Amino acid sequence: MNEDKIVRLKASIRDVPDFPKKGIIFKDITTLLKDADLFAQSIDQLHDLIKNRSFDIVAAIESRGFIFGSALAYKLNKSFVPVRKPGKLPAKILREEYSLEYGTDSVEIHADAIEHGARVLLVDDLLATGGTARASCHLIERSGAKVEAILFLIELGFLKGRELINEYDILSLICYN
């Protein structure tokens, strides 16, 4: 992996203080996405991390995970499965709830989206606390599939989200420690 390219990608990500609430520094990827060359480079670099791995399906977590997951699915000629927020899917669903700091949330997939025995690459833009990724992995496994790896554009290492999903193979392109 070309470290100069990673440094360039990292430099393009804007910090937005106090969003979505006070004390949070939001990593804004829209500044990366608006540059066609950097966006292409991010997809190419993510592809390089997983190109020698064997899997059947790319699943991605709503909503920014869709940006990277769908582009990778296209580049790899793999099918794409969206992992959605509640109430967004029209057919029979599987749902997995997970805990938040204050309350719960859930993710959903169509019950027929992933065939039993499939091998799945899960993609999201950011690994923070790991709760959404963990719930998404459990959802995929409940469909009878295996999570081959989880791929992130960004990992906030200081939040230790990796610890919540350490039974999976975790790949991150950019890490903030």
| Structure confidence by residue, pLDDT tens digits, 152-170 | 999 999 999 999 999 999 9
Catalytic center residues:
64, 101
Is-cis flag, bond preceding 20, omega within 30?
yes
Q: What is the dihedral of CA 54, 78, 115, 62, to 10 degrees?
A: 110
How long a stretch of residues is the chain? 177
Residue 169 in domain: yes
pLDDT digits (tens, 9 = 90+) for 99-128: 887 789 999 999 999 999 999 999 999 999
Residue 16 in domain: no
Domain span at 81: 53-176
CATH of the domain at 107: 3.40.50.2020
Residue 136 in domain: yes
Residue 48 in domain: no
Q: What was the pLDDT predicted at 1?
A: 63
Residue 6 in domain: no
How many structural domains is the chain composed of?
1
Q: Is 144 left (phi over 0), alpha (psi -120 to 50) or beta?
A: left
Q: What was the pLDDT predicted at 76?
A: 97
Q: What was the pLDDT predicted at 45?
A: 97
Query: Which stretches of the chain score pLDDT less than 50?
Result: none
Residue 31 in domain: no
Q: What was the pLDDT predicted at 134?
A: 98
Going by their DSSP bridges, the two strands 103-110 and 93-100 should be labelled as antiparallel
